[in-house]
Chains A and B, each alone.
Chain A
Amino acid sequence: MIQIVNHKIDTLALIESVKDDGGGAIDVFIGTTRNQTKGKKVLRLDFEAYEPMAIKELQKIADRACSQWGILNYAIVHRVGTVEIGEEAVVIAVSTPHREHAFQACKFIIDELKKTVPIWKKEIFEDGEVWVAAHP
């Protein structure tokens, strides 16, 4: 299951959704929003996505993960809109028969997401705002 949502993510429901009787492991990655960047206080984050392309790119990543590791079920949910400090911006849950594959697949999905999926994060500071990673 792949979703881009503009509301809080129900992490427990996602974990529940990937459970499988053939599974021996569920690995979960939760990306949360931090209250500072390089010592500078962050008030909140705004995320935006080119949604149809983001879904397509996430599907490509999930398909590659499924072909590489014996994934039983997966869930990838990323938020857009304003995300308050400490909230989940992204949750990835993967179930596999054995734990090693769950760890590897989950790490692969978040690492690739950060490289290719058209989603952008803006940090809002007290004195301005910055699109993350835009400039060298």
Chain B
Amino acid sequence: MTITILAFGIARDLFGDRTIKLDLKGGETVAEVMSLLKDRYEGLKQLKSVVLAVNEDYVEDDYQIKSGDELAIIPPVSGG
């Protein structure tokens, strides 16, 4: 399945786009996808923190991504 990941802040700069597409076999966890992304975009490894949100919520590392989930990469937040 193909998933779309929204990117914000410095993650968007690293991806070079507001969204990226990723082909998955199915059954991957959030942690596995993050690991794939870090291999593809080395700059993610330099960040203070980076997590994947699913359907507008923070999730546990073992969350299994399903078709239709909205993923977003969340670099260190700095609101306020």
Contacts and interface: CB of A to CB of B under 8 A. Distances in A.
Contacts, number: 79
Tell me the dominant secondary structure on chain A's binding face: mixed
Interface residues of B, number: 20
Contacts of B6: 50
Interface stretch (B21-29, B33-41, B46-54): B46-54
A113 B46 contact: no
Given A134-B9, A134-B47, A113 B56 contact: no
A52 interface: yes
A115 B77 contact: yes
Interface stretch (A67-75, A96-104, A118-126): A118-126
A121 to B, nearest CB: 4
A89 B80 contact: yes
Among B8, B72, B76, B80, residue most surrounded by chain A Cβ atoms (within 10 Å): B80
Interface residues of A, number: 29
B72 A110 contact: no
B10 interface: yes
Interface in A121-136: 121-122, 131-136
Contacts of B72: 50, 53, 118
Nearest to B13: A131
A135 B48 contact: yes
Contacts of B47: 134-135
A105 to B, nearest CB: 16
Contact of A131 (B10, B53, B58): B10
Interface of B: 6, 8-10, 13, 46-48, 53, 56-58, 72, 74-80
Interface of A: 31, 47-50, 52-54, 56, 78, 89-90, 110, 113-122, 131-136
